[in-house]
Amino acid sequence: MHFDGKSVYAAGAFCQGLLKQRYFLHDFQELINFRTKLKKLGLAIFYHHSIEWLQAHMLTCWFKKIFHVDCPGCGFQRSVIDLMKGNFSASFHMYPATGLILFILSFTALHLKWNFRYGPDILKYSYIIAASVIIISYLIKLKSQHFF
């Protein structure tokens, strides 16, 4: 086979183009990884600031303000904040029904979107269990505060 100078030059240029493209893809991949890391860091900072904001702007309980006794919902906000911080046991001890309530809210949203076959039954029994947990934990809380 006989190669003239132009074809050898063209082949060399083609190989250099491939190498540049490979390095470009590598650099582009690093850029994407860097952007992903920045997004994760931004989400973490936003998440941390949202927890601080929630702690600073918690709603006051009008029931406790008027009657000087905790209501059945007292502790839910602090429990959600503890859950967001990753303190699962503190969240459970603060308000035991938090997980059930969050499950009910998320399952209701999913059921409204996809209309699960046994969705209404699951929600009905979830409401009953959550209400039972709220009432029992409230009675225990009142007993521990020597209310009766």
Express each pLDDT in 103-136 by its tens digit. Answer: 999 999 999 999 999 999 999 999 999 999 999 9
Q: Which residues contact 145 (CB under 8 A, 6 or more apart)?
A: 69, 70
CA distances 126 to 75, 108, 131, Å, are 20, 11, 8
Model pLDDT, residue 3? 47
Model pLDDT, residue 28? 59
User: How many CB atoms are located within 10 Å of the residue 27 CB?
Assistant: 10
pLDDT, averaged across the chain: 83
The DSSP code sequence of 20-64 is HHHHHHHHHHHHHHHHHHHHHHHHHHHHHHHHHHHHHTPPP-HHH
The three-state secondary structure class of 72 is: coil
Report the predicted TM-score, pTM, of the whole model to 2 decimal places: 0.70
Per residue of the chain (148 residues), give pLDDT as tens. 454 545 545 555 555 554 455 555 556 566 667 677 767 777 777 888 889 999 999 999 999 999 988 899 999 999 999 999 999 999 999 999 999 999 999 999 999 999 999 999 999 999 999 999 999 999 999 998 876 6
Q: How far apart are CA 28 and CA 125, in angstroms?
A: 51
Q: How far apart are CA 136 and CA 116, in angstroms?
A: 30
Q: How far apart are CA 15 and CA 9, in angstroms?
A: 10
Q: How many residues does the chain have?
A: 148
